[in-house]
Every structure is written in structure tokens, then in C-alpha cells.
């Protein structure tokens, strides 16, 4: 639909991308107006979306009646170019691209926007590691009038969904089908329905099964679920993302050292931009390296598959002791994954497991002590950063401090334990605590004989085969909010984050109930397998939570699923 120019914003002094609509010669005035309207619609659709994997639109301006879209400048190359130039992409990288694009489509569909042209050419892999979905040029807002003529199909034949190819009604599942074709193409190096002719290709999309995979391996089931012909049976965002995260935590787990891990939104390791500032004349100009541009920054002749299969980008390592970052879907130590920011009202509670033992200790303190310690904690963390990065002749150990030793796994319990082994679950609980529940109930309780208000509960419940740990705990949270007897108001979520328990993708919900002296503090972990949710939680008074937190950590450390 146009040409994208690199430009300078002279007011804000930043580089931007400006999209110019290029009209075909001899276009009728009505068609020209329709194309201009489509461009404005693209801007409105993209500007409504805020997500790291969606290109950011800054502004739309008109010059002599022509619209120009001002966007963030992405130092990137397309996934299509990467496949064409470098060959098939490594399975782990494809999985992370899938996670990023699922997030972009989820936020788009939640805002009522259908992309309608998801394909490798519209997927940009940027130099900072991000994967970005761009070009909403054929996107359609539900409130917009239909601008295509009857029988005209927008999009690319290889990547169009069967229902769109047949002219039927379509919705979010159509974008997910196109995503499946995109991921298939990335990992196999070819589209699944290619017949060499657009009409024959569209016929294959509607009638034929996808070509068998040869490189997809463990990703095959996810790809086939997204390429399901029937949109009602096609995988939705939650199902596909849950399966991919399971793979990223298992068969596709990152084998690279911690200091080589990328950040949560990176699909390849971030590299220095090839667009360097102009060097003053008196200084020597750095000669071009000959590397292929884009986020991957590959040397001539180097394969992206070989680079990413090794688990890292082969580029310069971050300074020792620098901030550690984690790839999407990767479930690193400690047992819970990288936390999401908590609401400001939670004080230090949102800083889960950051900064090693120091923050892990402070987060468990009563809130009145947390707030009082906030200033001192900030000073300590700044000093840690200064000493970790300072130069000098004296060697300094900059190995990151992690709870539970160098692997980051929680340390073994420092209190007596007994093993709970019921209904396919084994987990350690405090020795001597009174057991309750069982029988026809879905839970087992272990209650502190010296404090009836402190207990742990282990639950095994039937759930949908498409359920995810996060979705299960979301439903559990709604139950907590509605049960004022077990969870007095006000209810407050401290955090809901994803991670790993027993080698499986998991979620953890931390919350408080009540206020003042009666306030209670709980933490709940869950995994889902084969239509069952296996979960456990610890609850105690707020003042006793810090002393009780090690009990939950021991349950995380010892939790395992067995044949029931």
C-alpha cells in the first residue's frame, strides 16, 4: 500500500518512520479516496493498540489531502527476509515468535481489530530483540464500512484462512490460521499449502491438509491446531500460548548460561544497532562489518538456525553482574518466573524475587515494615549496582545472588517435613501438622496445631482440557472475592505471575484478605495437566506470613506429579 520512509522529527528530535501511500497510475478518483480511507483506518486500528509486539503509531498527518502515518522507527528486517536469506528458523526462536505474535493478536482482537494479513513479510524481527506485527493496512474495525468490492479478497493467498478464501464470515480465528501458516513457514522454510499458483494455493488452503512437517518436531501439534480448517475447532490464543510455553519450559528450554538470556519480549538476543551516530570528522569512522542487518545481526554466510539453535546470539555478552533478563516462555530459577509489575498500592510486594535473598526477605515483612524499609532497600540495591559495575584492579565477585544456591532452585526446608502423596501428587508439608479433608472432597488440609489460622491446602480438580494455570487461578481468585467468610473484604491481589513447578508451566497467585490486625496473606500455586488442575496454597495472618513463606517454598521445591 505504500512506501515507508526513514525521517526525522525535528520537534522531538527523534528518528521516525513515515508511511506514504503510493497510488497506482490511472486510479479513478473514487478508488483513490477509498485507498486514502483505508490508510486512515490502518492508522486508527494500529493507534488503538498498545503492546510491545505491535508497531507504535505516533501521529497521522494530511498534506494536500494525502494521509501520512508517523510510526516508531524499527531497525529490523522481516521474518520473510530472514527465511529467504538464512533458511528455516530454529524451533525455539519460532516458539518465541509465536508467543510474541499471539500477544499482539490477543490485544488487537480485544480491541475489536482484525489484522487480516498476518504473514512473514509483516512480522519484523528488530535489532533490540523484539518481534513486532506491523502493517494493519488491510485491518478492519467493526464500525468501518466495507471498502472491498464483492468477490474481492484482501490478503495473501498462502496465508489466508479457509473461511476467508470461501467468502464466509470470519473473525479472530482467521488471524490465528494465518499465524499458524506464518510459524509453519518460518520453521519449515516453505508455506504448508504452496501449489505454485494463487488459485491452486487457495484451493489447497480450503481442501487439502498441510504438507507434513520435517523440522517442526515438538511444535508440530501446535501448528496443526492453528491450521485446523474448522474455525470452531482451531486453537485459540490461550490454548496455543499454553502449549508453546510448556515446550519452552521443557523440550525447547534455553540451555544457554543465565547471562546470555534475552528479555521477556525478545525472540533473538538484542544487538547493537547498525545505524550508528555520525562520527565527528576528527575521529576515525568505524568501517561497516558486512553483517546482515536486522535484530539477528548475522555475519555473511552465517545461518540464523545455527546461531539460535546454540541458545544465544553469539554477540557480545553483557557485563558480569549486569541485569539478568529472561526470554518469553522461559521458566528460569527461582521456581517462579520473572514477575510482572504489581499495583503501586502493593508497596514492595510487587518486587517478587528480585535482588536475591535481600528482596525475598523484605517482601515477606508486614507491610508497615516494608514501607519503612523501602528507602533503605533502594540505597542498598544502588550500591550493589555500583560495586558490580565499577572498574579497578581488585577483583570483585559479580556472580548474581540467587535464593537457594547457584542454580536458583529453592533451598531444602530447614524445618521437619512429611510427604503428602495422594491423587497423583507428592509434596512436602510440615511434619506434625494435622491432616484434614480427603474422601470425596477435592482437597487435603494440613493445619498448624499451634495456630489454627495457619494451614496449607492441596487440591486436585477437574478442569477443561484447554485450561491454563493462569486461567485456573483467575477463577480461583473470583471465588476468593466472593467468599467473605474464608476471605474477608477487602480482597487485594499482590501478584499473579507465571513460572514453573515440577518442570511444568505454572502460575502463582499472591493475595491478601481483610485489613488491620485481621488481615490474612495467602499464596497459591497451580499446574494443569490432562484436564486436571493440581494446586496448593498457604495462608496465614499477615504478621506471620514472613515466617511461613518457607513452607510454601518447600512445597514448590518438592512438588511432583505421579501416576494416580
Judge whether 407 and 333 are in contact, CB under 8 Å: yes
Q: Is 4 exposed, middle or buried (0-12, 13-18, 19+ CB in 10 A)?
A: middle
| Nearest Cα to Cα of residue 483 among 522, 444, 454 | 522
Judge whether 222 and 98 are in contact, CB under 8 Å: yes
| Nearest Cα to Cα of residue 434 among 450, 422, 423, 421 | 450
Segments in 87-190 forming alpha helices (H)? 91-110, 162-165, 172-188
Backbone angles phi, psi at 212, to 5 degrees: -60, 145
* SS3 per residue for 316-374: CCCCCCCCCCCCCCCCCCCCECCCCCCCHHHHHHHCCCCCCHHHHHHCCCCHHHHHHHH
Tell me the C-alpha distance between 136 and 120, whole Å.
14
Return the bridge partners of 3, or none.
20
The CA-based angle 96-295-107, given to 5 degrees, is 45
Catalytic residue among 75, 86, 117, 448: 117
Instruction: Establish whether 117 is a catalytic residue.
Output: yes
Question: What would the grid cell of residue 367 be?
Answer: 507491610
Q: Give the largest Cα separation in the chain, rounded.
A: 87
Instruction: Find the length of the chain.
Output: 564
Helix 172-188 vs helix 79-86: crossing angle, to nearest 10: 20
If one counts every other C-beta atom within 10 angstroms of the C-beta of residue 102, the result is: 23
Backbone angles phi, psi at 241, to 5 degrees: -65, -40
Question: What would the grid cell of residue 23 be?
Answer: 497510488
Query: DSSP character for 54?
Result: B
The rounded radius of gyration (Å) of the Cα atoms in the chain is 26
Tell me the C-alpha distance between 157 and 198, whole Å.
6
| Nearest Cα to Cα of residue 227 among 188, 176, 189, 167 | 176
Tell me the C-alpha distance between 391 and 412, whole Å.
36
Q: Which residues are catalytic?
A: 117
Amino acid at each position: 500500500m505504500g512506501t515507508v520512509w526513514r525521517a526525522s522529527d525535528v520537534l522531538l528530535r527523534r528518528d521516525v518512520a513515515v508511511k506514504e501511500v503510493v497510488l497506482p497510475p490511472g486510479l479513478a478518483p473514487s478508488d483513490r479516496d477509498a485507498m486514502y480511507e483505508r490508510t486512515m483506518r490502518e492508522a486508527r486500528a494500529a493507534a488503538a493498540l498498545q503492546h510491545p509486539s505491535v508497531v507504535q503509531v505516533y501521529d497521522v498527518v494530511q498534506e494536500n489531502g494525502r494521509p501520512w502515518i508517523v510510526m516508531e522507527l524499527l531497525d529490523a528486517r522481516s521474518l520473510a527476509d530472514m527465511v529467504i536469506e538464512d533458511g528455516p528458523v530454529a524451533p525455539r526462536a519460532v516458539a518465541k515468535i509465536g508467543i510474541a505474535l499471539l500477544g499482539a493478536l490477543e490485544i488487537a482482537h480485544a480491541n475489536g481489530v482484525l489484522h487480516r494479513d498476518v504473514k512473514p513479510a509483516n512480522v519484523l524481527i528488530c535489532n533490540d530483540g523484539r518481534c513486532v506485527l506491523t502493517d494493519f493496512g488491510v485491518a478492519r474495525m467493526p464500525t468501518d464500512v466495507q471498502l472491498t468490492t464483492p468477490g474481492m479478497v484482501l490478503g495473501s493467498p498462502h496465508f489466508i484462512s479457509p473461511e476467508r478464501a470461501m467468502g464466509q464470515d470470519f473473525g479472530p480465528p482467521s488471524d490465528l490460521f494465518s499465524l499458524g501458516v506464518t510459524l509453519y513457514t518460518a520453521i519449515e522454510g516453505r508455506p504448508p499449502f504452496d501449489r505454485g499458483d494463487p488459485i491452486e494455493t487457495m484451493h489447497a488452503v480450503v481442501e487439502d491438509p498441510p504438507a507434513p512437517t520435517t523440522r517442526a518436531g515438538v511444535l508440530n501439534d501446535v501448528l496443526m491446531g492453528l491450521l485446523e480448517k474448522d474455525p470452531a475447532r482451531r486453537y485459540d490464543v490461550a490454548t496455543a500460548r499454553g502449549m508453546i510455553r510448556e515446550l519452552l519450559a521443557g523440550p525447547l528450554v534455553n540451555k544457554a548460561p543465565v547471562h546470555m538470556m534475552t528479555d521477556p519480549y525478545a525472540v533473538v538476543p538484542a544487538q547493537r544497532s547498525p545505524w550508528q551516530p555520525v562520527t565527528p570528522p576528527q575521529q576515525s569512522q568505524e568501517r561497516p562489518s558486512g553483517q546482515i542487518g536486522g535484530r539477528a545481526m548475522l555475519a555473511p554466510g552465517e545461518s540464523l538456525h545455527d546461531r539460535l539453535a546454540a541458545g544465544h546470539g553469539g554477540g557480545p555478552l553483557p557485563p558480569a553482574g549486569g541485569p539478568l533478563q529472561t526470554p518469553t516462555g522461559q521458566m528460569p530459577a527461582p521456581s517462579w518466573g520473572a514477575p510482572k509489575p504489581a499495583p503501586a498500592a502493593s508497596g514492595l510486594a510487587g518486587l517478587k524475587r528480585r535482588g536475591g535473598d535481600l528482596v525475598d526477605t523484605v517482601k515477606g515483612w508486614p507491610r508497615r515494615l516494608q514501607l519503612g524499609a523501602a528507602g533503605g532497600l533502594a540505597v542498598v540495591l544502588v550500591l550493589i549496582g555500583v560495586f558490580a559495575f565499577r572498574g579497578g584492579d581488585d577483583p570483585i565477585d559479580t556472580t548474581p545472588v540467587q535464593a537457594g544456591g547457584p542454580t536458583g532452585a529453592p533451598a531444602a526446608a530447614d524445618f521437619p517435613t512429611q510427604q503428602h502423596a495422594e491423587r497423583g501428587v507428592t509434596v512436602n508439608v510440615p511434619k506434625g501438622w494435622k491432616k484434614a479433608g480427603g474422601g470425596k472432597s477435592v482437597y487435603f488440609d494440613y493445619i498448624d496445631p499451634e495456630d489454627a489460622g495457619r494451614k496449607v491446602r492441596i487440591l486436585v480438580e477437574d478442569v477443561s482440557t484447554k485450561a491454563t494455570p493462569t486461567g485456573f487461578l483467575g477463577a480461583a481468585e473470583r471465588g476468593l472475592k466472593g467468599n467473605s467468610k474464608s476471605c474477608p473484604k477487602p480482597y487485594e491481589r499482590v501478584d499473579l505471575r507465571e513460572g514453573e513447578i515440577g518442570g511444568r508451566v505454572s502460575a502463582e497467585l499472591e493475595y491478601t484478605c481483610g485489613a488491620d490486625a485481621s488481615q490474612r496473606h495467602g499464596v497459591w500455586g497451580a499446574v494443569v495437566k490432562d484436564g486436571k488442575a493440581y494446586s496448593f496454597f498457604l495462608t496465614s495472618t499477615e504478621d506471620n506470613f514472613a515466617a511461613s513463606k518457607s513452607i510454601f517454598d518447600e512445597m514448590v521445591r518438592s512438588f511432583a506429579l505421579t501416576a494416580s
